[in-house]
Structure 1
Amino acid sequence: MGLWTRTPWALFLLLQILAGTAEPAENLDFFLPGDYLLGGLFTLHANAQGTSHLTVLQVPKCQEYDMKVLGYNLMQAMRFAVEEINNHSSLLPGVQLGYEIVDICYQTNNVQPVLYFLAKTDYFLPINRDYSSYEPRVVAVIGPDNSKSTITVANFLSLFLLPQISYSAISDQLRNKQRYPAMLHTMPSATHHIEAMVQLMLQFRWNWIVVLMSNDDYGRDNSQVLRDRLARSNDICIAFQEVLPMPQPDQVATAAELRQLEGILLKLKQATARIVVVFSPELALHNFFHQALHWNVTDMVWIASESWAIDPVLHNLSGLQNTGTFLGITIQEVPMPGFSEFRVRRPKALPAQPPNKSRPRGTCNQECDACLNVTRSFNTILTLSGERVAYCVYSAVYAVAHALHSLLRCSSYYCRKEPVYPWQLLKEIQKVNFPLLGNQIFFDKQGDVPLRLDIVQWQWHLSQNPFQSVASYDPMQQQLKIIGNISWHTYDNTIPTSMCSKNCQLGQIKKSVGIHPCCFECNDCLPGTFLNQTADEYECQPCPSTMWSNRKDTSCFKRKLAFLEWHEAPTIIVAVLAVLGFLSTLAVLVIFWRHFQTPMVRSAGGPMCFLMLMPLLLAFGMVPMYVGQPTVLTCICRQAFFTICYSVCISCITVRSFQIVCIFKMASYLPRAYGFWVRYHGPYVFVAIIIVLKGILLASNMLTTTINPIAHTDTEDPNIMILSCHPNYRTGLLFNSSMDLVLSIMGFIFAYLGKELPTNYNEAKFITLSMTFSFTSSISLCTFMSVYNGVLVTIMDLLVTVLNFLAISLGYFGPKCYMILFYPERNTAAYFNSMIQGYTMRKD
């Protein structure tokens, strides 16, 4: 027999020997051999961290605690991604990607798995100066799921720059690249989760909330992020916050824990806040919600953090739907074709190992006998829920595969099987950018993949998605978008209200009550102020000086400008009097001009009469300066022209009355003074001096106050702005009229002293009448202005001015015109001489 006849028998004998000595087959659930291994850290059993596992020097046995369905679901997502890459992808042709997965039991089993991953295949972890060429057991680690465990693992892996991709931990501490340079995340950070919560509460105008947090780093850190966010805007206030007790490993609440939960629920039922934000792993919530059902809590809106937002076990708690509306913040839903079937498929076994080849020793906590059966019982709810966090695990595995594709310089047919050092792979992972099931996967500067967040509502209807998406939040735009209707727990499906104080009405400001800015009283904005809600809701803004507002206004309106107008009845009356005065003065001027050489005109003052009549005529003609909107020119005319005209007239009357007294009484006593007075034209010098003094007074008044028109508020009606020539109108008028008052008093005294003179020369009664009217009208005007401030002041000023001029025109010149026109026989030199002789004979 030759070689060909002996070979089959030899091969058959060899196979029989190997079969007889082979090790039992291994489970593919936790280990899959490959050219490059991925480490996976998942929570398959939930156990709160405590001190019980530290009493013995051994790693805790996770299988002794309750199984976590979501943890197994996430582990299956990693297995699904690895097998999909190996079987159906051209990412790593010719390269087998393997994995090794460990159950971390939430927080109690972290250090041993990470040391296992860092060691070589012979469980040896060398102490070297340089690890640049060191190859640990795995090329990257996926997980863990919670922040505290992730931080513990990251402290080890960062020393070796071994890439770590977290699929669920959201703590902002992990974004610190100086402390955790090898840390990457496929779940948006806590800042985005909190911002989505805040925008959701602002969307429904909830500003009065309760915060419940677990007694661990997760609860404390996330509640602090929420408080910091709320402190920046003061839009939402926390009525109170409480710490939920972490349960014992056996999940049985102690008497102390029950008392603590009862105290929390009592405060919750007594509080006016209806919105409860809960930062806690699901471990601490089973006992809490059992007690909430026992206490018959029914009218709350529960906002779930990502740790329990889509937890199927908690959702399955009987009667939970009676406690209110449940809204959760979680990652977006991304369908993963084939994953639902893969999740409940029993894993294959590894082929038997030959006796001469060492088989990798398994690490602890790599068993879960009940996982598959329990997951199958929840498969319906998991399928209806869709893939959310599972997609984060799925994309993390694909990110490592794309990085290996680049590092191994893979083509469409093969890859170079070269040593992969962690720091090299980390650089490649940070540069990946690829599409995956409709999303673009890339890592930003903080190591985050900016996936969209969803706000889900818990549903309990049969054959319906138990976690229905009702809103979405885009981390890139930081904007919330409502995408579906929410079915509220209220009787008529109205949006629940949770406000410390009701919203103020338009035009009302908020006045804080107590320490919370959300608790306030509503006060009306007073007239003259308005509420600018875009600027400040706590203070009314004053209106500009030219505008006004009514009570509770949100804007100002222009005030009505008040000034003397032609269509008003007082203006018409004064205008008629001014026309009458102008015509009468013009008539007097003509009469005096035609009878200038007669004794009657000469006794009235002669040329000085024209000095009085011309200002009177001009003053009557300038009356329209008082009507209409004031300008600089009209203000000058009002303050200067009219007062100068009047001062000229009143000074002429005063000096005329003085002359009458001097001629008949003082000429004999002071002949030299009288001669000096006549020689140097004393009357005209006196009038000139008065005009100069009046000019000085007017100039000083104008220099100290503005001549521009200024509006001031009507004290009786603030809707009206009164236009006047300067703010101290009354003071200026009194200041300008002071000399005129003195002159009128002097004229009155001189006229009274000359009351016994001859009738033709005796003008005392007419001067007295004019001066008395001037004095009383000025006093009346000052009294009126002291008690009233409005347009009527301008009317009264004009009326008094016109009447004073009329008093001079008609009161002084009127009787003389009457004598000239109707008694010409008395306007002769002989008649005047006879009257003087008669007066002299009576005096003797």
Structure 2
Amino acid sequence: MGSQARTVCWFLLSLRVSAELSESSNFHLAGDYLLGGLFSLHANVKKPVSFNVLEVPKCKEYEIKVLGYNLMQAMRFAVEEVNQLSSLLPGVRLGYEIVDVCYLSNNVQPGLYFLAEDDYFLPILKDYSNYVPHVVAVIGPDNSESTITVANILSLFLLPQITYSAISDQLQDKQRFPAVLRTAPSANHHIEAMVQLMLHFRWNWIVMLASNDDYGRENSQLFSQRLLRHSEICIAFQEVLPVTDPNHAMGPQQQEALDNIFSKLQWSTARIIVVFSPELTLHNFFNEVLRHNFGDVVWIASESWAIDPALHHLLEPHYTGTFLGVTIQRVYIPGFSEFRLRPAEARPPIPNGTNLRATCNQECDTCLNTTEYFNNVLMQSGERVVYSVYSAVYAVAHALHSLLRCNQTGCAKDVVYPWQLLKKIQDVDFTLLGNRVHFDSHGDMLRQLDIVQWQWGLGQNPFRSIASYDLIQKRLKFISNVTWHTVNNTIPVSSCSKNCPRGQRKKPVGLHPCCFECWDCPPGTFLNSTDEFNCHNCPSSMWSHKNAISCFKRRLSFLEWNEAPTIMVFILAVLGFLSTLAILVIFWKHFQTPMVRSAGGPMCFLMLTPLLLAFGMVPVYVGPPTIFTCLCRQTFFTLCYSVCLSCVTVRSFQIVCVFKMASRLPRAYGFWVRYHGPYIFVAFTTAIKAALVVGNMLSTTINPIGRTDPDDPNIMILSCHPNYRNGLLFNTSMDLLLSVVGFSFAYMGKELPTNYNEAKFITLSMTFSFTSSISLCTFMSVHDGVLVTIMDLLVTVLNFLAISLGYFGPKCYMILFYPERNTQAYFNSMIQGYTMRKS
């Protein structure tokens, strides 16, 4: 205990409590264990009064508060019902001491009275563990301000205090208020229910009015903090309501403040007004509301006045808009409506008692008459806060049942210390009238909330439930429709800006996110339902049109079998495969003939085998690319083609070397023949090409990717890697070099003997290869997409055909149709004729 708390404690203990019971108190019931009750039976000061320090308020100075009397009757009803239940506290009789706190005027004195012993004294002790106060627990008071005042006293003694309608979140602080529990949800739940209500009806432009007291300031702050966490709702403006007494005329400053508020309300486009204020402060406010025309607004009532019969009666003959409020869920209590109007029973005088009929502590001569007047409203509105009082009494009774070790026949009437009973109350868990009574770690009992609408008319429920709020799921459940005081019963609209059309994002204007302009979402973006202020980019494989709320998959573009270019190229590939296979068979059968030997001998098979395999692998270009097909495209085809070009190049070099350089460089020629120069050259160039291919693959990737078609963003072009064209140009560079070298050697040997003169065929093949590669590079620099793939495949197939048919075709023609020219004698005669001409 801190020094400040210790000082307060010693100060309280030094006071002598002078509050004694009346002789025939209607608010006292003798019993083995007494419960203290704090209720506001009177409120609304009739005229200005000055209170002496030790003087309690007098009843004649206040008006009756019918709800307070109704709640007090609920405590009496619950206690008497518990006493009649032999199974709960058999052999034990509960009693009560109920005190009128007069709303806010009489809080400290009843608290001291409950803490005192039976002789009305508080002893000064060092340890109060074994101290027994006048009551074992306290039920009440009703509002948060009074509850906090009383809790600061009772918590020092760990005397259990169960409040039935104080919702302040300060009471959840168990360091300050360890003995406080409550049977009503905290303010956060009420705030969230309001927010969910406004979100349901899409009200995002509201006015907040809060009274200039602790209740108004705390709840308005909680509401503002809730809206700051989520920007779905904006406050157009907020004002402070002056705190006035209902029976007193307002001063000039208060009247000016109200006039300023009503001026803003008439000017504002916000039609939803949230009011956080105690019910007493609102009487003068709504008297002013009646003077203005506010039939199109919706009033959102906080729990303090959501089911107040006095305010409901004040507004009954008028139409001032639609009233919605957040309150505790209704629970029907059998027999309570009849008990509420039961006249008081005559009780024997209390020994040594002092009559305090003039004070608000114990007497209420007119309470019963007032209750009868409002009985219709009380019955139709149902037992809401009444059940909170009812369940609080039963919570204490169940705790006593456990503490006194009760069984079916009786209980041990032990001395009950406050701290012992507090622990038992915190652990209670039972079902009462279909509802679970249990306190969480904050000392709160989770009860469902209702959204009620005010109604006027004979036989109507003045506070009709239109929805319920689930505290666990934090979700509003609508159970009926609302009757709006608008034209054609339409839902009121309250927004700073009109909703944007489908697919348009909101651009904030000013400080409020609820005030905005509407902007189109461009193609390729979409508006997410969870973020109305930003257009999000579609994934790379998807696209969207203008003002879209979702993306669709792009149409995949790749070479397909049913396309005419594919069929044409495939026919050429089949033709190439069959012709190459035929050439291979012909050369194999005529391997020893001069025609095959002059074409290159074994090197012919080194050229024909890659050609045959390449023609057979053409289908890897068709269909969606995969890792395997990309690997084949980037390695297999280019290596096969390079092997063929290397063989053609070295063959053209050999022809020139045999007939022009053998005589001039015999040693070099012998070295070339001895060490198989042609094969070394082919292996060397193939290795260089393989290194280039591997380097290109390592610098990019072989995984297939999709690229947006620059001409049509709806199309996704599937290719092997992002730098497909650059990689293709890079791989083609060496093929171009080999083509140029082969063409040069072939041109140098154009005057050789006819049978050995392969220059014109090599020249034709190399010229075609060079021009086709240049054409492909030019085409790729201009076009993109599937056209590049089909052109790449077409050029590859044509190059292979140029080698297969252009180089080997004429030789096969000679072998098959001119066998007489495929003899050694014929070749020798051609060489002799060439030599004689040169001589």
What interval of TM-score do these two structures reach, taking the shorter chain for normalisation? 0.7 to 0.9
1:787 lines up with 2:785 in the alignment = no
Secondary structure at 1:469's aligned position in 2? Answer: strand
Give the drift of 1:293.
2.9
Deviation at 1:250, TM superposition (A): 4.3
Name the CA distance, whole Å, in 2 between partners of 1:758 and 1:287: 125
SS at structure 2 position matched to 1:460: coil
Residues 777 and 204 from structure 1, CA distance in 2 versus in 1: closer, same or farther, beyond 3 angstroms?
Answer: same
Q: Deviations over 1:559-603 (max 9, x none)?
A: 555443333211222223234444555666677778878877776
Give the SS at the match of 2:314: coil
The 5-angstrom pairing of residues 46-125 of structure 1 reads 46-47=43-44, 53=50, 58-61=55-58, 63-81=60-78, 99-120=96-117, 123-125=120-122
Distance 1:676 1:246, change over 3 A: same
Q: Does the CA contact (< 8 Å) of 1:662 and 1:674 recur in 2?
A: yes
Which position in structure 1 is the counterpart of 2:799?
A: 804
Matches of 2:204 and 2:613 in 1, distance apart?
73
- Structure 1 residues 650 and 304 mapped into 2: Cα distance closer, same or farther (>3 Å)? same
- 1:95–1:417 Cα contact (<8 Å) kept: yes
Corresponding residue number in structure 2 for 1:209: 206
What code does the residue aligned with 1:385 have? S
- Which residues of 2 match residues 282-361 of structure 1 at below 5 A? 282-318=279-315, 322-336=319-333, 339-340=336-337, 342-344=339-341, 347=344, 358-361=352-355
> Per-residue CA shift, 1:79-124, capped at 9, x if unaligned?
4555666789897788776555443332122223333443456544
| Distance in 1 separating the partners of 2:769 and 2:58 | 115
Decide whether the 8 Å contact of 2:42 with 2:360 is kept in 1: no
Find 2:562's aligned residue among 551, 559, 567: 567
Contact 2:38–2:140 at 8 Å: present in 1 too?
Answer: yes
Distance in 1 of aligned mates of 2:158 and 2:688: 98
User: Residue 70 of structure 1: CA displacement?
Assistant: 1.9
- Which amino acid in 2 is paired with 1:730? R
Q: Which has the higher mean CA deviation after the structures are superposed, 640-649 or 507-516?
A: 507-516
C-alpha distance in 2 between matches for 1:826 and 1:118: 135
The offset of 1:466, in angstroms, is: 0.8
Worse-superposed segment, 324-333 or 715-724: 715-724
The letter of the residue matching 2:483 is S
Cα pair distance change 1:532/1:756, threshold 3 Å: same
- Report if the CA contact (8 A) 2:45-2:63 is conserved: no
User: In the superposition, relative to structure 1, how do residues 139 and 702 fare at CA in structure 2: closer, same or farther (>3 Å)?
Assistant: closer
The answer to whether residue 694 in structure 2 is matched with residue 737 in structure 1 is no
TM-score calculated relative to the size of structure 1 = 0.82
Q: Distance in 1 between matches of 2:794 and 2:214?
A: 86
Give the counterpart letter for 1:693 in structure 2: I
Q: Matches of 1:451 and 1:793 in 2, distance apart?
A: 70
Q: Give the equivalent residue in structure 1 for 2:6.
A: none
SS in 2 for 1:41: strand
Q: Distance in 1 between matches of 2:206 and 2:80?
A: 46
Cα offset for 1:310?
1.2
Q: Report the CA distance between 1:299 and its aligned residue.
A: 1.9
Partner of residue 189, structure 1:
186
> Within 5 A, what are the aligned runs for 1:199-278?
199-248=196-245, 250-278=247-275
Q: Which moved more, 1:678-687 or 1:568-577?
A: 678-687
The residue matched to 2:283 in structure 1 has which SS?
helix
Q: What does residue 374 of structure 2 align with?
A: 378
Cα 1:783–1:108, aligned 2, differ >3 Å: closer, same or farther?
same
Within the candidate set 772, 776, 783, 2:767 is matched to: 772
- Cα 1:49/1:670, change in 2 over 3 Å: farther
Instruction: Please name the residue that 2:638 is paired with.
Output: 643
Query: Could you tell me how far 1:505 is from its partner in structure 2?
Result: 6.6
Task: After superposing the two structures, state which structure 1 stretch, 504-513 or 625-634, moved more.
Answer: 504-513
Number of aligned pairs? 814
The whole-number CA distance in structure 2 between the counterparts of 1:662 and 1:402 is 116
| C-alpha deviation, 1:795, in angstroms | 1.7
One of 674, 680, 685 as aligned partner of 1:690: 685
Which deviates more from structure 2 when the two are superposed, residues 664-673 or residues 160-169? 664-673
Give the SS at the match of 2:290: helix
Deviation at 1:732, TM superposition (A): 3.1
> What's the CA shift string for 1:780-807, capped at 9, x where partnerless?
1112223333222222122112222333
Residues 538-553 of structure 1 aligned to structure 2 (within 5 Å): none
- Does the residue aligned with 1:154 lie in a helix, a strand or coil? helix
2:163 touches 2:183 (CA, 8 Å); kept in 1? yes
- Greater CA drift, 822-831 or 711-720: 822-831
Answer whether contact 2:46 2:61 (CA < 8 A) is retained.
Answer: no
- Pair 671,507 (structure 1): closer, same or farther in 2 beyond 3 Å: same
Relative to structure 1, the CA distance from residue 642 to residue 299 in structure 2 (aligned partners, 3 Å threshold; closer, same or farther) is: same
User: 1:383-394 maps to which residues of 2 (within 5 A)?
Assistant: 383-394=379-390
Q: 1:204 to 1:652 in 2, by over 3 A?
A: same
Q: Confirm whether residue 279 of structure 1 aligns to residue 276 of structure 2.
A: yes
Q: Which deviates more from structure 2 when the two are superposed, residues 430-439 or residues 263-272?
A: 430-439
8 A contact 1:45–1:68 mirrored in 2: yes
Q: Paired residue for 2:484? A: 488
SS in 2 for 1:492: helix
The one-letter code of the counterpart of 1:153 is V
Amino acid of the structure 1 residue aligned with 2:644 = C
Q: Does 1:42 align with 2:39?
A: yes
Cα distance change of structure 1 residues 716 and 365 upon mapping to structure 2, 3 Å threshold: same
**What is the CA-CA distance between 1:281 and the residue it aligns to?**
0.6
Q: Does structure 2 retain, via aligned residues, the 8 Å contact 1:211–1:238? A: yes
**Does the 8 Å contact 2:620/2:629 carry over to 1?**
yes
- Structure 1 residues 189-237: Cα deviation after superposition (integer angstroms, max 9, x where no partner): 3233333333333443444433222111111222233344444555444
* Shift in CA distance, 308/759, structure 1 to aligned 2, threshold 3 Å: same
Amino acid at match of 1:836: Y
The amino acid across from 1:768 in the alignment is T
- Separation in structure 1 between the aligned mates of residue 39 and residue 779 of structure 2, nearest angstrom: 93
State the 1:41 CA deviation.
2.7
**CA, structure 1 residues 298+820, in 2 after alignment: closer, same or farther (shift >3 Å)?**
same
Q: Structure 1 counterpart of 2:167, which letter?
A: I
Q: Which residue does the alignment assign to 1:22?
A: none
Q: State the SS of the aligned residue for 1:294.
A: coil
Residue equivalent to 1:458: 454
Letter in 2 for 1:146: N
The question of whether the paired residues in 2 share the 8 Å contact of 1:27 and 1:347 is answered with no
The reply on whether 1:157 has 2:154 as its aligned counterpart is yes
Q: How does 1:416-815 map to 2 (within 5 A)?
A: 422-423=418-419, 426=422, 429-430=425-426, 439=435, 441=437, 443-475=439-471, 479-500=475-496, 515-516=511-512, 518=514, 533=529, 561-585=556-580, 612-630=607-625, 634-662=629-657, 666=661, 670=665, 673=668, 677=672, 682-702=677-697, 704-707=699-702, 709-755=704-750, 764-814=759-809
- Whole-angstrom distance in 2 between the partners of 1:421 and 1:597: 122
Choose which of 355, 361, 365 in structure 1 pairs with 2:360: 365
Report the CA distance shift for 1:405/1:824 in structure 2 as closer, same or farther (over 3 A): closer
Provide the rounded CA distance (Å) in 2 between the counterparts of 1:606 and 1:336: 111
Bigger drift between 681-690 and 220-229 goes to 681-690
Superposed CA offset, 1:674-720 (max 9, x none): 56556666545544443343344344445555445555554444555
* Counterpart amino acid of residue 360 in structure 1: T
Aligned-partner SS, 2:487: coil
Q: How many angstroms apart in 1 are the aligned matches of 2:815 and 2:125?
A: 136
Contact 1:48 1:283 in 2 (8 A): no
Q: Percent identity?
A: 71
Rg (Cα) greater in structure: 1
CA 252–49 in structure 1, closer or farther in 2 if over 3 Å, else same: closer
Shift of 1:44: 3.1
Please, which runs of 5 or more residues in structure 1 have no aligned partner? Answer: 1-24
Kept after mapping to 2: 8 A contact 1:45/1:63: no
Q: Which moved more, 1:406-415 or 1:670-679?
A: 406-415
- Alignment CA distance shift 1:677-1:344 (3 Å): closer
